[in-house]
Structure 1
Amino acid sequence: VVAATTALSSSTLLPSEFGLPDDVCIAALEPPEARFRWEEQHRLEVDQVLFNFWHEASGFGIVTEEAEAIQRAALQAAPAEAVERSSEVSSASWSDPWKASTYGEVTVLGLRQLGRALGLDESNGSTGLTFMDLGSGVGKVAAQAFLEWPRVTRAIGVELSRSRAATARKVWSEVLTSGEARRLRASLAEAVTTELGQTEYSMDDVDAAL
C-alpha cells in the first residue's frame, strides 16, 4: 500500500530531520481517535479477546518441508522473471526473508490505522463488506476485522501454510464456542442502533455472520 507522506512530528516513528521519499507513510504510534462513545470500550474488549485466544497461537517456526512446499507453489504461480531466479531462491536458506513462507503479523494498532485509512471502521457507511486477508497466518487479523468493525460482516483468511491455517481454524472455533464472537458482534449491533438510530443490524444478522 502506497500512501502519501505525512508531516513528521515528535509523535512519529522518525525524527523530524529524517528525509522521506514521496511514497512512504509514517504513522503515529497511537490509535485512530474514536468517533463514538462506545468505540473505545469495544476496542478494549476486542483486545482482551485477541489476547485471551491468540497469545499462544504462533505462525512462526513452521517445519522446513512445509516452507519448501509453499515456496514451490509460489514459484509455480510466479511471473516469468521470478521463475528465472528459482535456482537462486532454491539455494537460499528456507528462512530467507524473500521466501514465500516468511511470516510476520500486522499489529492490532496497525490494523486499526489501516481500517481508518480505508474507511472500514466507519459505522454509518454501507454494510455487508467482506474483509479478505491474503497470507492470513493464524487468523488474528481477519478475526479482529470481523469482531471490531460493524461494516465488515464477513472476514476470510487465505493461508498456504497448512499448520498456520489449522491453528487459525482451531482458535476461531474456540472463540465461537466461548460465545465471545457473538457477544462482540451483538454489542456492535446494539451500539450502532443506539448511536446512529439505525435498525439494519439484528441478531439474525449476527448469527448469519457467525
Structure 2
Amino acid sequence: MRAVARVLLLLCAGCTAVELPAQGVLRREVDRVLNTYWRGREGYAISAKEERRINRGDGNPGLYGELAPEGARRLAEEWGLCEGGKAVATFADLGSGVGKLVVQSYLEWPGVHRALGVELSATRAKRALEAWEALLLSDEAFELRQMALNLAGDNDATPNPAEEVKLLHGDLLDADLSDVTHAYVSSLCFPESLIFDVSLKLKQAPRLRAVASLQPLNLDSGARLLALPTSWTSRRGMGTIAHFYDLG
C-alpha cells in the first residue's frame, strides 16, 4: 500500500484506528521505506581490495557506519530544517555510504530543497542508487516528500525527486559544493591529512552556512557539541559527539 494511502488510513479511520500526530506518521513511513528499500543493500561489506584502495595512507576512512534515523532528526532540528516555510537549503552528505541520510533529509526535512550524496566506494554508491531508483519507481518518494511539504505549510510546491536528489560516486574533495548550504561529514575515521583537505574544501564553498562533523574541522568558527545516535552506538546511549559549525 502506498504511503499516502497508509497515512490516510491512520489519520481518518476514526474509532477503528489510533490517531497519530501527522509528523509522527511521516517519520514512521520514512523509517519503513528506509528499512524496506535498503534491505540487502547495506554498506558494511565491501571487497577487501576496494577497502584497501579507500584506506590508502593513514586512518581508516573506509570503515562504515551511518547516522541512525533519530540522529538524522537531531541534525535537522539543530539546523531548523524540519520546520515550516519554503524549502531553500541544499544538503550534502560527504561520504554518504548507501545514501540513507541523503534520502531521509529529502523525504522528511521540508527545509531541504535539494540533497546530494558523494561516496568514494563504488560498491556503496551502486547500492545507494539501486535503492533510490527502486523507491522512485514505487512513487513513494514523491508521496512522502509531498507530505513533508504539506505538513510544513508549503502546499504550492510540486516535488521532483529524480532531479532534487543526487547520489554520486566520487571523491568528496572533487565534489561541486557551489550550491550547498548545509553539510554533514562522517569523518570519525578520517586521517589528519584528510581532515585538513576537507576543511579547506568547505571553506571554499560560497553558500555554506552550517557544517556538522564527527571530528573537529579547521573552520573559521567555534564548534558546539551535540550527541547524535549512530549505527554503532547503543539505542540507550547518548550517541556520538558531533561538532557543529555556524558559518553565517
TM-score range, shorter chain: 0.5 to 0.7
Classify the secondary structure of the residue corresponding to 2:75.
helix
2:88 is the counterpart of 1:128: yes
Q: What's the counterpart of residue 130 of structure 2?
A: 170
Q: What's the counterpart of residue 15 of structure 1?
A: none
Q: What's the counterpart of residue 47 of structure 1?
A: 31
Please tell me whether Structure 1 or Structure 2 has the larger radius of gyration of its CA atoms. 1
- CA gap 1:55/1:208 in 2 versus in 1, 3 angstroms: closer
Q: What's the counterpart of residue 183 of structure 1?
A: 143
What's the offset of the Cα at 1:115? Answer: 1.1
2:68 is the counterpart of 1:107: yes
TM-score, length of structure 1 as denominator length: 0.63
2:145 is the counterpart of 1:161: no
Summarize deviations over 1:62-90 as a string: whole Å, max 9, x none.
Answer: 11111121123xxxxxxxxxxxxx4xx4x
Q: What's the counterpart of residue 10 of structure 1?
A: none
More strand by share: 2
Question: Among the aligned pairs, what percent are the same residue?
Answer: 37
Q: How far, CA to CA, are the matches of 2:32 and 2:160 in structure 1?
A: 24
Gaps of 5+ in 1: 1-36, 73-85, 90-97
More helix by share: 1
- Is the Cα contact below 8 Å between 1:130 and 1:155 reproduced in 2? yes
TM-score, length of structure 2 as denominator length: 0.54
Summarize deviations over 1:97-150 as a string: whole Å, max 9, x none.
Answer: x312111111001111111112121113x5221110011100001000000011
Q: Segments of 4+ in structure 1 off by > 3 A?
A: 204-210
Q: How does 1:1-210 map to 2 (within 5 A)?
A: 37-72=21-56, 86=57, 89=58, 98-124=59-85, 126-193=86-153, 198-199=154-155, 201-203=156-158, 209=164
- CA gap 1:105/1:41 in 2 versus in 1, 3 angstroms: same
Q: How far, CA to CA, are the matches of 1:206 and 1:110 in structure 2?
A: 23
What's the offset of the Cα at 1:56? Answer: 2.1
What's the offset of the Cα at 1:204? Answer: 5.9
